[in-house]
Amino acid sequence: MSYITAHALDSTAGTPARGMHVTLMTSAGEEIAAAVTNDDGRVGELGPETLEPGTYRIVFGTGAYFQAAGMDHFHPSVTIDFTVKAGEKHYHIPLLLSPFAYSTYRGS
């Protein structure tokens, strides 16, 4: 399992958000890795095996996802900043979304 994983769920359709672009970045905006969610809405490999402690950013391409589905939407992307602490073995970042709202939490 990768050090960083992600999961996107479309609460409007009640399905995984398949085919969504996800990007891992430094807090300064430099891209570290990019992937596309699979049929389960998951990205199991995003970035290196470890990251130095600090602040990082994950960007979900929600606008393109909803546009491809022919749905009006409010957020062109969802950006989540998070802190990596020394000694942690894994970070999972889930996103529950609809065209006009989203929520997230630290997953396991």
> Which segments are annotated as binding site for substrate?
7, 42, 105
* Positions at the binding site: 7, 42, 105
Identity of the residue numbered 105? Y
46 Cβ contact partners less than 8 Å away, ≥ 6 residues apart: 2, 4, 5, 6, 22, 24, 33, 35, 58
Reported as type and span, the H/E element at residue 64 is helix 62-68
